[in-house]
Structure 1
Amino acid sequence: MAIVALLVLFLALLPIIHLFLTKQRSSSKRLPPGSLGLPIIGQSLGLLRAMQASTGEQWLQGRIKRYGPISKLSLFGAPTIFLTGPAANKFIFMNEALVPQQPSSLTRILGKRTIIELVGEDHKRVRAAVMQFLKPDVLKNYVGKIDREVRHHLKMNWIGRQTVTVLPLMKGLTFDIICSLIFGLERGPLREGLGKDCADMLAGMWAVPLNLPFTHFGKSLRASHRARKVLTRITRERRAMVAQGQVPSSEDLITHLLTLGGEDGTNGLTDEEIVDNAMLVLVAGHDTSSTLMTFMMRHLANDQVTYAAVVHEQEEIAKSKAPGEALTWDDLYKMKYTWRVALEILRMIPPLFGSFRRALKDVEFDGYLIPKGWQVFWASSITHMDANIFQEPCKFDPTRFENQSSIPPYCFVAFGSGLRICPGSEFARIETLVTMHYLATRFKWRLCCRDDAFVRDPLPSPTQGLPVELEPKNKEQLMIVK
């Protein structure tokens, strides 16, 4: 117990020691206004409580009102600078001295060799490898496979049921798509276990990084260890198959990464890089798309005008298909209005509340110092809900995205921006449009609970997971889905 107490005390003093050394080194420059708060904890609990109460944006606006668009605080065990506004977004996304830096809790869960952690040539090399698999020219070949996963999901979980709870079903669907398309992992106990571990990992990613048996973070670390063992075993099995020429390079992401060769003829990525980035794809792809589709269903249940327009677009596409024929890449490009609805959902309720960068060296913004090693925190909702950028920001209006070039740069940042823009945005678009096509053409739905509020934990989650009453539109159509 004495050793544990000394360790906790040492960790508690780290932010103070770091701040003291930074001030000594840069005494001629000003830090932004604000307070680092309590050691280790800082303002983490306040932000997390606000997110869970769905008042995270108000919490940040309170800081802006008190300190202005730049301030210092401590989040998740590290001294942090909070920046807001379009100019700040551009500074963050385009400054090579600021590299993605997730909370230490997230890094310890996902690994140190993901594309959100790597810098310089390592980042370019690994990102290029992942992007080769996620680029449109490759993904368009998998629309039919995603279509089959969606139909199977509807058959097993929606058809014949009067009520369903949307969020957990959407998470199950996106997880199955990832397992099939990204990992080549078939249905069964292994996939089910990985799904549970994925949910447990997410619960501790934005937690105070105390690895104790009773903490969310401790539970997430244990789940991460189990998931990593599974993905490591898959990687080794794929490596052996590739060596024997048994699997084509386009079969799944892990196989694809294994077949990439370096200039010297060796594999360009290490096993650690493959597993870490598979972990990243597993978590990022599992929850962001499922959240988007859940909130699309939530909004369409309350907005009959938008619902009718989405249904009309999707039914016109359905009329052009033969019975049982899968959607194609060309069909997705006809779903322009449906995707605008999705973008407007992302503007108003972005799955990712905010993110972090780390300063590789001392940099300045707006006359203030951002010390080397400090975190920089940004939140998408600050510009998304700015009335000077989006007129009547609280009004749901998909027409905002009819001409996306009219939106000022660095204002709509649901997928980030710059060289580190989300590599999975096209993948998210495909699975979202395929899923919404079958839901809109096969079902009507009504919300079961009057309270349609949501909390962030850390992603937005509707009350009770969004239970809805289902009404099939056409029994013959449902038989085709089967």
Structure 2
Amino acid sequence: MAASVVVALLVAFLTPVVVAYLFTRRPKKPLPANLPPGSLGLPVIGHSLGLLRAMRRNTGEQWLRDRIHCYGPVSKLSLFGAPTVFVTGPAANKLVFTSEALAPKQPRCLPLILGRRNILELAGEDYRRVRGAMMQFLKPDSLRRYVGTVDAEVTRHLDALWAGRRTVTVLPLMKLLTFDIVATLLFGLERGAVRERLAAAFADMLEGMWSVPLDLPFTAFRRSLRASARARRVLEATLAEKKARLERGESSPGDDLVTCLASLRAEDGGGWQKQLLTDEEIVDNAMVVLVAGHDTSSVLMTFMVRHLAGDPATLATMVREHDEIAKSKADGEALTWEDLHNMRFTWRVALETLRMIPPIFGSFRRALEDMELDGYCIPKGWQVFWASSVTHMEPGIFRDPEKFDPSRFEGQTPPPYSFVAFGGGQRLCAGIEFARVETLVTMHHLVRRFRWRLCCKKNTFVRDPMPSPLNGLPIELERRDMASTTPTKSSE
């Protein structure tokens, strides 16, 4: 029954697209002779189904490596109805993250759900203006004041939902924690009805974030659009309240990200001061922050927990690092920015986790003009697709890439544009320091309070589109002061 419904939806979706393709296609200018090797496949469908199947089976990286074996690091294919050039390697990554001739191109559903003025959709001066505004709050000098706030959220979360439990499921709990941190620190929302409405709308919105953009009754995309509208109403009301508080002098720009963005001013042509970002831009980018701060950090911390369950040596080194930090603090005293600076080994573990299992599989750009890479032409209007994990697992860059080795990030850093879990160049993630604070504070309290073992015999994960461990990673918990001195190994 379920299969027949899926087939019916695919037919309903693809039939009008194919008909439109056949009856509206126009003669195009001849393609250049030096196109990359490869095939565009069938019209409209191209290679999309093959890549999606591979991602759901967690063989997406192998699917791309097979292409590289056949065609090299630059090849042409067709994805999601558009001619595409797949690129990999440091030089390609540099092009993707620095070239003004490449514009962002997200799946069609994302701007419809998150808003068209979000930072993922912007390029050029608009991108620099919005990113610069967000960095006013997300830069290290600002975030150092809020480590104690994050510490309090993590402590409250572990006391309420981990302590005293024999088993917990890690991924949904990590998502709940990161939502609470974003709601408190970035949106300034107190616990109560408003925050609960945002949480409910956000949960419904996520279900259709990566769905086929069919705005029809009973589709996941329609439900996600409606949930997005509810979340936006909450954020619009929050923004209006924060602007009013600023005007009355009852708040300051450093209170939270939304207040900070609302407070920023720029001169217009006549010398008047105006709001640097429009209300639409503030809300759209609050939506992006909500998704990015919730999903990527929760996935990272979940996979760190997953790895540490079977790596007692790495866990023991982390425990020593965090015990040493705790020695200098009074009972119950919150962590500080200086404490985070001393968690060097833990951050290397996080970076190695990101190298091996990056939350973002890859993304697209669109060529604004004819471009050249490795002697091949990328025609104007074509998509450019890159995938971080392929470069991350390149033996010529990372020795024994299948081995988990945090020392790769000690001392000498990887070559430029080789490790791109946070992007690079002008497209470096604006929230990298925020993610670092979330991750280090959470792991400090986890490894000092608990030991755990995996409940599932199969230690696998799938991508849909972000990596998700089997059953959300259920684990058996044990208080550290009751555990043996030797970390427990995961079940075989």
Same structural fold, with TM-score higher than 0.5 when normalized by the shorter chain: yes
Q: Structure 1 pair 463/19, CA: closer, same or farther in 2 (3 Å)? A: farther
Q: Deviation digits for residues 430-453 of structure 1, max 9, x if unmatched?
A: 110000000000111111111110
272-281 vs 207-216, which deviates more?
207-216
1:424-439 paired onto structure 2 within 5 Å: 424-439=431-446
Counterpart residue type for residue 327 of structure 2? K
- Uncovered stretches (5+) of structure 2, i.e. residues with no partner: 1-10, 483-492
Counterpart residue type for residue 440 of structure 1? V
Distance (whole Å) between structure 1 residues aligned to residue 34 and residue 403 of structure 2? 40
1:368 and 2:376 matched: yes
Q: Structure 1 pair 215/43, CA: closer, same or farther in 2 (3 Å)? A: farther
Distance (whole Å) between structure 2 residues aligned to residue 116 and residue 104 of structure 1? 12
TM-score (norm 2): 0.90
Q: Give the one of 472, 481, 484 matched to 1:474.
A: 481
1:448 and 2:431 matched: no
- The answer as to whether partners of 1:358 and 1:373 remain within 8 angstroms in 2 is yes
Matched with 1:227 is: 231
1:145-294 paired onto structure 2 within 5 Å: 145-263=149-267, 264-294=272-302
Q: Give the one of 466, 469, 477 matched to 1:462.
A: 469
Q: Structure 1 pair 19/101, CA: closer, same or farther in 2 (3 Å)? A: farther
1:337-352 paired onto structure 2 within 5 Å: 337-352=345-360
288-297 vs 362-371, which deviates more?
362-371
Matched with 1:354 is: 362
Matched with 1:393 is: 401
Counterpart residue type for residue 436 of structure 2? R
Q: Structure 1 pair 195/81, CA: closer, same or farther in 2 (3 Å)? A: farther
Q: Give the one of 308, 314, 339 matched to 2:322.
A: 314
Counterpart residue type for residue 298 of structure 1? R
Q: Give the one of 400, 404, 423 matched to 2:430.
A: 423
179-188 vs 415-424, which deviates more?
179-188
Distance (whole Å) between structure 2 residues aligned to residue 17 and residue 414 of structure 1? 42
Matched with 1:326 is: 334
RMSD (CA atoms): 2.2
- The answer as to whether partners of 1:47 and 1:56 remain within 8 angstroms in 2 is yes
Q: Structure 1 pair 15/269, CA: closer, same or farther in 2 (3 Å)? A: farther
Q: Give the one of 83, 91, 98 matched to 2:87.
A: 83
Q: Give the one of 295, 311, 315 matched to 1:303.
A: 311
1:266 match: secondary structure: strand
- The answer as to whether partners of 2:13 and 2:214 remain within 8 angstroms in 1 is no
In the TM superposition, residue 229 of structure 1 has moved relative to its aligned partner by 1.8
Distance (whole Å) between structure 2 residues aligned to residue 293 and residue 65 of structure 1? 33
| Identity rate, percent | 63
Distance (whole Å) between structure 2 residues aligned to residue 360 and residue 117 of structure 1? 14
2:275 match: secondary structure: coil
Q: Structure 1 pair 460/404, CA: closer, same or farther in 2 (3 Å)? A: farther
382-391 vs 86-95, which deviates more?
86-95
In the TM superposition, residue 7 of structure 1 has moved relative to its aligned partner by 9.4
1:302 match: secondary structure: coil
In the TM superposition, residue 35 of structure 1 has moved relative to its aligned partner by 3.6
Q: Give the one of 46, 71, 75 matched to 2:75.
A: 71
- Uncovered stretches (5+) of structure 1, i.e. residues with no partner: 476-482
210-219 vs 111-120, which deviates more?
210-219
179-188 vs 393-402, which deviates more?
179-188
134-143 vs 242-251, which deviates more?
242-251
- The answer as to whether partners of 2:197 and 2:234 remain within 8 angstroms in 1 is no
Distance (whole Å) between structure 1 residues aligned to residue 83 and residue 206 of structure 2? 23
Q: Structure 1 pair 213/39, CA: closer, same or farther in 2 (3 Å)? A: farther
Aligned residues: 468
Q: Give the one of 96, 104, 114 matched to 2:118.
A: 114
TM-score (norm 1): 0.92
